Structure 1
Amino acid sequence: MITKNIASLASIALLLLCSCKTDSKKEIVDAKATEAHAGFADSSTGKPLETGHRNAPKGMAHIPGGIFTMGSQDPNAHRTEGPAYSVQLSSFYIDVTEVTNAEFKKFVKETGYVTVAERPVDWEELKVQLPPNTPKPADSLLQPGGLIFDPIPNVANLNDISQWWAWKIGANWRHPHGPGSDIKGKDHYPVVQIAFEDAEAYAKWAGKRLPTEAEWEYASRGGQANHAFAWGDELTPHGKFLANFFQGTFPSGNSSADGFAGSAPVASYPPNGYGLYDMIGNVWEWTSDWYRPDSNARNKLASNGGICKNPTGPKQSYDPNDPNVPKRVIKGGSFLCSEQYCSNYRPSARMASAYDSGQEHLGFRCVQDLDVGQ
């Protein structure tokens, strides 16, 4: 059972300063058929969002099954992105956009669901994630909340994330930056401050699930292969911003050259080749895979150098830098990714996030399996 606390080890630190399996689904590709995504329009063109399969549920796109190279062999990529290996995936549907505040609000209204960031913190549950004999923080600190981006002026050390991340009591999906913030007028912004358990609960309610890391990476590439970015090999071709990332001097000198200092409404940037919006940038997205830094190596080994079919990730989490905290893989980067610090606006990039904590730049989207014969 997922713990109900949100003050994970990373949060306390700030306060205190493949399985490879086969699937025999029949693959049918219908790239010509389209269906409009209900309720949204491409902010750059004003046209309805499109999906790519006549039977795709509203708001979802059909991703045809196929084989692709997962990970990266680029010497500039992080070591956890390698080695690259071959993956075969069955077809699936995926949300065209990140789940929005309006969509999550409907879920909460219909179910009465309370997110992890809104529940009382249980010290007895929390301390099992911490090193032995970790002192209990004051009760005033053991309050529900989330991580917010709050940089100090003139950051000198980019190795010290406490200079721009802070634990904020009262931060949750309704108040992404803390009690003084809200989501009024932001129905079409991605919902954030969502823990893994919250994303799973929404997906189950919607009759969907969270994507595996492989599904997410495959979809994010938009049918292209062997490019540094989802759209090619240049970050800003012809000076055009194709994703929401940080411009200026990270972390306190945001120039907002693309028009957004934080997250943007979904579909504010052009879609990829599968008609998906904001797979890169805007907010990080949860996947269902447990995190290990060597996941790609383990999957490649399990496939004996051949093709790994429908990988679902390791059986349990392990982060050698934070071994007591179970973590899931997040993908896609966010509005905080910068050429100067965290250039994770690439399909192969991957990060770990504590499963019981929300963040101001972390959201999700869902996938759905095709029925056999579709």
Structure 2
Amino acid sequence: MLKPTQSCCSASRSQDVTHEAGNNAPELAQPRGNAQSGDMVWLEGGEFYMGSDAPDGFPADGEGPVRKVRVDPFGIAPYAVTNRQFAAFVDATGYVTEAERFGWSFVFHLLASEETRARVANVPQEVPWWLVVEGAYWAKPEGPDSSVEARMDHPVVHVSWHDAAAYCAWSGTRLLTEAEWEYAARGGLTGRTYPWGDELKQGGQHRCNIWQGKFPVKNNASDGYVGTAPVDAYEPNGYGLYNLSGNVWEWCADWFSPGYHRQTAPANPHYTDPTGKRAMRGGSYLCHRSYCNRYRVAARSSNTPDSSTGNIGFRVAMDRV
């Protein structure tokens, strides 16, 4: 019996996790400044009800209590950062991701080729569907025999929190706080489960890329995708934002704490005390209601900031210019 309190994304690197981006990073090219400002959706901010006390949630994750929170105006990218965008960053800077420097990353077992699986020598005991694949990184997401050439409009994966922060420093952007992320994901709706409402399939149509079938052995892919989907797949929410449920987890600026709602201010909350893990939001293509029901807008998860997997990406934000 799978334990529903565990997360499909819990594969993490075991090392010192309190260091910040740049300790071993290469020297970067000059930042692009605010070149992406025209690509942003600009939100006015304001008050909203954040969190969930719903019975299908995970209280141990600190999803509640529900409270009124205020965020200032900000800009948010309508899509997660794509392989094409990340490739431009790497081409401009020569940046080497942490997955490349470690020499391996976590790949979901059904996505790896038979040849790659045959070479795997290590898997995490608690989450054996994650394979430690040597040579897996953002440009070769399933290992050395894979490529993103046909997936340039898919979200970049195998990026650590440090990698995401480095991209933001170059592009003149930043990561979203958890409060900003949830405000944006709700799309103007109050107290709803998903960015579009309370029904997972609205009008019988799939609205996100998650797992269908028996996790982790069979994905029926009735939503159209086994792995990642293009960043503009499915209908956007009320703010014109795409794939805030499923597809890939998105790194946030906050350190992760289960006491988040009791420990942060009601105005522009941001958890800044180092805890060893960074917050992630949105769920991924591996989430399933029987196991990792964390593709709800109030759901939270975390990972060490040096970790990378085939279902973690990020989205960028900007302060009002």
Q: Report the TM-score range of the alignment, normalised by the length of the smaller protein.
A: 0.7 to 0.9
Cα distance, 1:70 vs. partner?
A: 1.1
Q: Could you tell me which amino acid in structure 1 is paired with residue 230 of structure 2?
A: P
Q: Which residue of 1 aligns with 2:40?
A: 60
Counterpart of 2:305 (choices 335, 351, 355) is: 355
Q: Which residue of 2 aligns with 1:309?
A: 267
- Report Cα offsets for 1:208-255 as digits up to 9, x if no partner: 111111111110111111111111111112321001111111111100
Q: Calculate percent identity across the aligned residue pairs.
A: 42
Count of aligned residue pairs for this structure pair = 278
Q: Which residue of 2 aligns with 1:84?
A: 66
Cα distance, 1:65 vs. partner?
A: 1.1
Q: Which residue of 1 aligns with 2:51?
A: 71
CA distance in 2, matches of 1:274, 1:242: 15
Q: Could you tell me which amino acid in structure 2 is paired with residue 297 of structure 1?
A: R
Q: Could you tell me which amino acid in structure 1 is paired with residue 307 of structure 2?
A: S
Cα distance, 1:84 vs. partner?
A: 1.3
Q: Which residue of 2 aligns with 1:93?
A: 75
Contact 2:12–2:308 under 8 Å retained in 1: no
CA distance in 1, matches of 2:269, 2:290: 33
- Report Cα offsets for 1:3-57 as digits up to 9, x if no partner: xxxxx983459xxxxxxxxxxxxxxxxxxxxxxxxxxxxxxxxxxxxxxxxxx92
Question: What are the within-5 Å matches in structure 2 for residues 286-305 of structure 1?
Answer: 286-299=251-264, 303=265
Q: Which residue of 1 aligns with 2:12?
A: 10
CA distance in 2, matches of 1:295, 1:367: 21
Determine helix, strand or coil for the equivalent of 2:241.
coil
Counterpart of 1:112 (choices 84, 90, 94) is: 94
CA distance in 2, matches of 1:351, 1:65: 24
CA distance in 2, matches of 1:59, 1:212: 19
- Report Cα offsets for 1:284-309 as digits up to 9, x if no partner: 0000100111111222xxx5xxxx11
Determine helix, strand or coil for the equivalent of 1:297.
helix
CA distance in 1, matches of 2:245, 2:12: 24
- When the two structures are superposed, what TM-score results if normalisation uses the length of structure 2? 0.83
Determine helix, strand or coil for the equivalent of 1:118.
helix
Max radius of gyration: which structure?
1
- Report Cα offsets for 1:291-344 as digits up to 9, x if no partner: 111111222xxx5xxxx1111114111xxxxxxxx1100000011111121111
CA distance in 1, matches of 2:79, 2:309: 19
Determine helix, strand or coil for the equivalent of 1:275.
coil
Please state if 1:257 is matched with 2:222.
yes
Please state if 1:334 is matched with 2:314.
no
Q: Could you tell me which amino acid in structure 2 is paired with residue 190 of structure 1?
A: P
CA distance in 2, matches of 1:9, 1:163: 9
Q: Which residue of 1 aligns with 2:133?
A: 168
Contact 1:250–1:338 under 8 Å retained in 2: yes
CA distance in 1, matches of 2:12, 2:91: 31
Instruction: From the superposition, tell whether residues 254 and 313 of structure 1 become closer, same or farther in structure 2 (CA, over 3 Å).
Output: same
Cα distance, 1:82 vs. partner?
A: 1.0
Q: Could you tell me which amino acid in structure 2 is paired with residue 74 of structure 1?
A: A
Determine helix, strand or coil for the equivalent of 2:174.
coil
Q: Could you tell me which amino acid in structure 1 is paired with residue 268 of structure 2?
A: N
Query: Runs in 1 of length 4+ with deviation above 6 angstroms?
Result: none
Instruction: From the superposition, tell whether residues 109 and 296 of structure 1 become closer, same or farther in structure 2 (CA, over 3 Å).
Output: same
Cα distance, 1:161 vs. partner?
A: 4.1
CA distance in 2, matches of 1:82, 1:111: 41
CA RMSD between the two structures: 2.0
- When the two structures are superposed, what TM-score results if normalisation uses the length of structure 1? 0.71
